[in-house]
A and B are shown apart, each in its own frame.
Chain A
Amino acid sequence: LAKTTQPISMDSYEGQEVNITCSHNNIATNDYITWYQQFPSQGPRFIIQGYKTKVTNEVASLFIPADRKSSTLSLPRVSLSDTAVYYCLVGDNYGGATNKLIFGTGTLLAVQP
């Protein structure tokens, strides 16, 4: 399973766009990139998943360059409630029979008023 590297923490203010970049230099051809959000004392919550280029849903966008060795989670106009830990994971888990996920350190995003 590919190892991921993210910044340990980031600070932002309400209303700003936040971009969190994750490095995954050893990503395999079959690997997908998935981002999760976790609040204290809760289980992680799925945010977005992609394979290449750009994916957008109602809460975030995921940008993946052509070499797929990194990805950027973009959160538009963050609010105080977006303060959480964000995890980037890669793995051959999209529709596969096994979905073993290895969590890295994650990025603690602190949004201030």
Chain B
Amino acid sequence: GAVVSQHPSRVICKSGTSVKIECRSLDFQATTMFWYRQFPKQSLMLMATSNEGSKATYEQGVEKDKFLINHASLTLSTLTVTSAHPEDSSFYICSAGRGEQYFGPGTRLTVT
């Protein structure tokens, strides 16, 4: 199947700083990618839909100014957590695909 990668796999940052997470589709082009957040022992929660060449669509309750999404090419979407706080610590996962969705391995963000 198709491969979706994420970088970094884990990151630790200090409160108030910004962190960028990359999501890449390695062997296919993706006009649409999705970003999820998962807290321990909980299900995945869809945060936003990343659209190549246009603005992202955010789910209700997700702060668009805090979670900046850029989908500048057909193989790359980035999620930037701005002014991160400890409550932003979570597992962030992206997905891409047409029909069948392929998920990245996830990025563990810890804000201290």
- Contact surface of A with B, Cβ cutoff 8 Å: 34, 36, 41-46, 49, 87, 93-106
Contacts and interface: CB of A to CB of B under 8 A. Distances in A.
B93 A100 contact: no
10 contacts: A43-B106, A44-B93, A45-B103, A94-B100, A95-B98, A95-B99, A97-B98, A99-B32, A99-B101, A103-B36
Given A45-B103, A101-B95, A106-B43, 4 more contacts: A44-B95, A44-B103, A95-B99, A103-B44
Contacts of A42: 105-106
Contacts of B105: 42-43
9 tightest Cβ-Cβ pairs between the two chains A and B? A43-B103, A103-B44, A95-B99, A103-B43, A94-B99, A44-B103, A43-B93, A43-B106, A43-B104
Contact of A99 (B1, B44, B98, B108): B98
A49 B6 CA distance: 25
B67 interface: no
Give chain B's interface residue range (CB within 8 Å of chain A).
20 to 34
Interface of A is mostly: loop
Nearest to B100: A46
B95 A43 contact: yes
Nearest to A96: B99
Nearest to B4: A43
A41 B103 CA distance: 12
A45 B105 CA distance: 9
B91 interface: yes
Given A103-B43, A105-B43, A106-B43, A41 B91 contact: yes
